[in-house]
Amino acid sequence: SSVSIDSVKNIVIGDSCYTPPGICLQVVYYSSLVILPPNPNGYYITWKVCCKSFEDNFQGSNSQLFYAQFPNPLLSGKNQSPKFNPIGSSPYFCIGYEKELDFSCRDIDRDSLVYSLITPYKDFSITGSKPFVASTYKSGFDMNKMLGPGSTCEIDSTTGIVLARPAQLGIFSI
């Protein structure tokens, strides 16, 4: 099955208070109709973005791997995928100030959605499948200090709202 681009949206980063220079964000919406045959193990799909090297919290030139899991189609019946709410125009934080970012989804089936932060994946295993290989944090960063020492970053598992307060300047993946 092929995937089509539904729309492309350029997000202007910044607001009347501050606009970071040299940063652009583009959101691309894809869709496809896929009918999966029954599989008792379910399915997962992956998408890999190569060679990002601008994060201050990870070592090396990191790729990022995204994946989604699906249950056996016999178990789920006709099920719609959740849709992320639109990204705001200020997905940046100011040092020492707490800020919220909304990463919530809407689900017309009223499925239970649970949100969590994890160490981003950077690659497939040697076999080209699961288990995925986690990115390596730079010294001073880890799951509890994604934005560095003295910072906070957490997600509400029910709402998908990220609350963060960085303690240092940088470009971070969370």
Burial label, 99 (beta-carbon count in 10 A; 0-12, 13-18, 19+): middle
Instruction: Note the Cα 30 to chain centre separation in Å.
Output: 15
pLDDT digits (tens, 9 = 90+) for 79-94: 777 888 877 656 677 7
pTM, to two decimals: 0.74
Which residue from 29, 27, 36 is spatially nearest to 1, judged by alpha carbons?
A: 36
pLDDT of residue 157: 96
pLDDT of residue 160: 93
pLDDT digits (tens, 9 = 90+) for 96-154: 888 888 889 988 888 888 999 988 888 777 777 788 888 888 899 998 898 889 999 99
For 148, list phi and psi in degrees, rounded to 5: 105, 170
Query: How confident is residue 159, by pLDDT bands cut at 50, 70 and 90?
Result: very high
Coil, strand, or helix at residue 152? strand
| Spatial distance between the Cα atoms of 103 and 144, rounded to a whole number of angstroms | 19
Instruction: Look at 150 and 77; give whichever has higher pLDDT.
Output: 150
pLDDT of residue 52: 61
Start-to-end CA span in the chain (Å): 31
Beta strands in 22-173 (DSSP E): 25-31, 43-52, 62-70, 83-84, 99-102, 105-106, 121-123, 133-134, 152-155, 161-165
pLDDT digits (tens, 9 = 90+) for 19-57: 777 777 788 888 888 788 889 988 888 877 776 656 788
Q: Has residue 68 got a pLDDT over 90?
A: no
